[in-house]
């Protein structure tokens, strides 16, 4: 269906290690895949996004990969720091859905000192 499946729901990693969050979708018309970070009590903030004509995008310690054939995309955070602790949401949109975002359920990332 339209939903975006996001895993895991909770991820606990040691400070300095890498974290990977994965999302899968079924609508092949999807062409835009953003990732949002939401700290407690704050609004969601866009941290990185990727469009369907690109397979990977990096911004310092954050990267997103997209596999259109398998219909999944992942967020990679390297050298994790305490300030990375937050809830991360993936989403997708397409022209067919009038560019409305379809959201994953979220992943609570905990960075252990």
Partner 1 sequence: SAVISQKPSRDICQRGTSLTIQCQVDSQVTMMFWYRQQPGQSLTLIATANQGSEATYESGFVIDKFPISRPNLTFSTLTVSNMSPEDSSIYLCSVVRGNYGYTFGSGTRLTVV
> Which residues are registered as beta bridge partners of 53?
none
Q: How far is the CB of 63 from partner 1 (least distance, A)?
A: 19
- Interface pick for partner 1 out of 19, 106, 109, 111 (rule CB under 8 A): 106
- Interface pick for partner 1 out of 8, 26, 46, 79 (rule CB under 8 A): 46
- Interface pick for partner 1 out of 22, 32, 62, 71 (rule CB under 8 A): 32
What number of chain residues touch partner 1 (CB under 8 A)? 20
Q: How far is the CB of 93 from partner 1 (least distance, A)?
A: 8
What is d(CA 93, CA 107) in angstroms, rounded to the nearest whole number?
19
Which residues contribute to the site for partner 1 (CB under 8 A)? 32, 34, 42-46, 49, 51, 89, 93, 95, 98-101, 103-106
């Amino acid at each position: 269906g339209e939903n975006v499946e996001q895993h895991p729901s909770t991820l606990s990693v040691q400070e300095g290690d890498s974290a990977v969050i994965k999302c899968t979708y079924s609508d092949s018309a999807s062409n835009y895949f953003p990732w949002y970070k939401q700290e407690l009590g704050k609004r969601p903030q866009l941290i990185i996004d990727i469009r369907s004509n690109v397979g990977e995008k990096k911004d310092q310690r954050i990267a997103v990969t997209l596999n259109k054939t398998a219909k999944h995309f992942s967020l990679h955070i390297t050298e994790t720091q305490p300030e990375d602790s937050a809830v991360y949401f993936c989403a997708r949109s397409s022209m067919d859905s009038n560019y409305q975002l379809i959201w994953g359920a979220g992943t609570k990332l905990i960075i252990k000192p």
